[in-house]
Structures are given as C-alpha cells and as structure tokens.
Amino acid sequence: MRADGRLTRLLLVAGFALLLASWVGGNAPGFGPDEPANFIKEVGAGTGQWTGTPGRLAHPAFGSQPGAAERIAWINGNSRVFRLPAGLDPGAAGFPCDLFRNGRSAACLDRAHVHPPPRRALSYVGTYEPYVYALPGAAMARTHSALAALYTGRAVSAAIVAALLAVATAAVWDSRAGPVCLAGLLLAASPMVLFMGSVLGTNGIEIAAALALFALVLRMGRAHGAARWTWPAAGAVGALLALTRATGPLWVLLAPLVGLALAQAPRRRPPLRRVAWAGLAALGVAATLAWERAVQPHPHTRADLARAGLHALPADAHAWARQWVGVFGWASLPMPTYAYRMWWIAVGVLVLVAVAVGPWRARFGLVAVVVGAAAVAVGLDVLVLRQTRFPVYGRYLLPLAVLLPLAAGELLTRRAGRLPAALLRPIPVVLPLVVATVQLVGLWANARRYAVGVRGPVWFAGHARWSPPAGWTPWLVLAIAGAACLVGVAAGGLRTPPSIRATDGTAAVPPPGPPPGPPPGPPSPGLALPAQGGGDGADPARPRPAASESR
C-alpha cells in the first residue's frame, strides 16, 4: 500500500505539472486576464520599481453606460508607469489582438513587430502588491523579447503553482484511507485553477496558495494529529498567500477558522515551537496591510451600489459557477456545457457522500464552512468589489470556492473506513477519469479558439491558422500526458483493496466475506503460543506454558 500510495501521489503531481505546462505554451500570448498590464507590472517589480510613477490611461473606453466615469477614475487611480528594457513592450509586440472575437483565430499575432528601445509603459494594476509580481518579473527582465519574457513569466508562475499543488497533495494524503483521500483535491484543482496558474499575474498563485493552505489546516484537524512538516509548510504558504493580493490576508485569517470548524478532537496540543511557524504568515499579512494603507486606493461604500449588487447576485452566482470550473481568455471563452455539468455533478456526489457518512459534528462543520464562505463572498461582492463599478469575476472568489470540494473530501477521508465497498471502489476510479476528461476538454476548447476560432474544425491540428512556439504537437502531447497521469491515479484506485482502516478513531466496516488468512487450527505439540498483547485476557508480560505442559 505504501509503495502504491507514493506512486499515486507522484502521478497526481506530475499530472498537474504537465497540464500546467500545456496551458503555458498552448495559450495565445496576452490572452490571460489582464495579461499585458500584469506583464508591465511584473517587469517593473522584477527590476525594483515597486511603486512606479502615477499615470493615466490615454484613451479609456468603458462605454457610455452609468458608472463609466467612475470606472475611469478608479482605474486611473490604480495606474502606474514603469520603465521597460529594450524589446519588452507587450503593446509593441501586439498581444493580445482580436481579444473578444472568439470566431477568429489568433493569426493576428503573426504579423511582424518591431524591437522597441527602452521605454515607459502604463499598467492599470500598478498599485497592486509587488511582492509576488517580482518573482516572475526578475526572470522576465533578463530576456530579450516580449514573447520570450511572457513565456518565461508564465513558466515561473506555473512552477510556483505546481509546487503549491504538490504541497496540497501531500497534505490531503492519508495512507489509512488510500486514493479516496484525493477526491476533494481533484475537484478543487479545476481547469480554471490550472489556467489561472499558467498566465501572468498573481491571481493564479493566490488561488493555488489558498488551496494548499486550506488543505494543510484540514490535515491538522485530523484525530491522529498532523505531521511535523505541516506547520512550517503552513507558515510559508500562508506568507506567500498573504503577499499575493489585497484579499490574501483575508484567506489567511479564514484558514484557522476553517480548521477549527472541521477539527476532530486532537490527541494533544501541538508544541509552541510548531505553532510559532504561524509568525511567517503574520509577517506576510502585515506587509500587505502596510502596502494597502500606504499605496492602494480604496473605494467608498455606497448603499445604492450594494443594493444593485444584491439584485444582480443570482445572475452573478450562475456566472461564477461556470467560471470556477473554467471560462478562459478574459472571462470570454467558455467550455462546452456538458463539461460544467460533469464537474458539478461530481462535486455534488462528493458532498452528498461526505454528508451521508460524516458524523453530526462534521456535518454541522461543513454547513458552517459553506455558509460562512458564501457570506464572505457576498460581502466582498457587494461591499468592496462592486463599489469600483467593475464586474466581479469568479476568479476573484475562487480561493473561497475550493473550500467546498476540499472540505467534503476531508470528511470522506476521515470516514473512509465506514464507506461500503460499493462506494469505496468507484470514487477513486471514476472521479479521476471525470477530472481528466474535463481537463482535456478545457485545454482543447482553448487551443481550438486560437488555432481556428470556435467555429472552425473541431479537429484543428491540420488546419491551424495560428500555432504556438514549436507548433501544436508538443503542447497537445503534454496535455495528453497529464491526463494519462490522472488515469494512472484511477488505476491506483483499482489496485487499492476495499478494506481500509478508519481514520477518525472509529472501527472500520469490514469487507464482506470470510476474514482473510488461513483458517485457525490446533497448535502443534510442543510449540509455545506467543502473547497477543492481552487480546484473550491474558497478561502479555506473563509467558504462557507450552502446549504439551498445559494438557
């Protein structure tokens, strides 16, 4: 079981990494959300220009509908100008182009571009926290073209996200439960999580860090205690999460509340030296709060905008549910409808099974987590984000959305020993297959849009009007290899025997049929019977007589 468990975890981490790599290369340049603005911000932060200089959009175009002037004022307040090295101007490189025209390919990217001298460029995310922007930005600044810089920055961000998903995989794993413990993580790491983790900007790192931190605090709440490594990991991941974006500290402060809501009775209190690792996260929170106070503008809260946000909430929630699974580009490129149905049916089944097998305290804890997360999401929507007059995209709330499958998966892990074989076998087999299918559908839908447009051939490989570096073949091979790793995780579920120990201190449900092992028989004459730890009422410290002496 231990060797199979290690292989299963390696396959899952490799699958995530390969899928991320396919997203990095297969997504057209500039077609990540706000990618040109994030490009400028990252190069600026990576070259030590943390604050930039104030600037204004030259030709703002936000329509004539109500609130356009307020949107322009807000975005100008966030704008900063940064110095870019020679060749590293995304505007001169021409990406993106034909941004919201999904019927067209990305062939417009293939026109010749100049190699501009060093220049100044404006980013409308200029006042955002620079700490994590500087990580890919430092590597981007050492390249010699905008295209090379973009792919370099994407690769650095994807590597960070892959490492965070590896931490989450280690956190959710429990050898007592076997592959079923991966169910929540598989559904938390949706195609949207991987897409956001492969483009420029810190939103994807924020989502992956929140996922990893929530997985760690749920692991700490198990009855058999947490491994030593989880404490420094939680401190480091919490610090990274706090430094990503303005909402990062909120997720860090919510994490211990989530852990307490779903915690089992611990065997003993953790040593103070382990809890002290939380100081790393506290430092990250302090750094971001200091930046927010010194640099970042804040909207005024208006009751009329809050009421409008509440009225729009049903439509927004429907859009978020799709965006949490995967709406790519600038929230403009959806997947086929069946992909969303497959994903949410899988999430619904996971939640229902977790509620059915969980104890009452855990059920109440799960309800509290879901209701609390929903309340935080609504509050952020109507009281903060809506006040800027900009739409609220699902990616902003995705760090909260991952809680539902993660929490349900944790309940399932703790009660795996009580699952009947009719559920214990299918869940770790069918679920990775569903996830692999939807991940491939998302990558294919995204690639098709840029190769031939959404009305082009479904099998576009021989008809592509635009191709990424090295053509489509290597990136599609990476996608298929990543999905194959998830199929390998499903095969690991087939290899796992259905008799799994309970992880919550309760007795496991035995598998049907006779007990394993040879039938008991009479002892051989003259052989001593070993003590069994008092299992038959005997004193384990007292030697038993030989069988010949006892007659």
pLDDT, tens digit, for every residue of 329-355?
Answer: 999 999 999 999 999 999 999 999 999
User: What are the phi and psi torsion angles at 130 (to 5°)?
Assistant: -90, -10
Burial class for 159, CB neighbours closer than 10 Å (0-12, 13-18, 19+) = middle
Give the number of other CB atoms < 10 A from CB of residue 10.
15
C-alpha span between 66 and 389 (Å, rounded): 9
The string of pLDDT tens digits covering residues 94-122 is 989 999 999 999 999 998 778 899 999 99
C-alpha span between 225 and 234 (Å, rounded): 15
Between the ranges 53-67, 363-377, 520-534, where is the mean pLDDT highest?
A: 363-377
Task: Tell which phi-psi region holds residue 505, choosing left (phi > 0), alpha (psi between -120 and 50) or beta.
Answer: left
**Average pLDDT estimate for 365-373:** 95
Give the number of other CB atoms < 10 A from CB of residue 513.
6
User: What are the phi and psi torsion angles at 121 (to 5°)?
Assistant: -140, 150
SS3 525: coil
The string of pLDDT tens digits covering residues 139-174 is 999 999 999 999 999 999 999 999 999 999 999 999
Q: What is the DSSP string of 275-337?
A: HTTHHHHHHHHHHHHHHHHHT---PPP-HHHHHHHHHTHHHHHHHHHHHHHHEETTTTEEPPH
Q: Report residue 503's pLDDT band, with 50, 70 and 90 as the boundaries.
A: low
Structure tokens, 348: 């619904």
SS3 513: coil
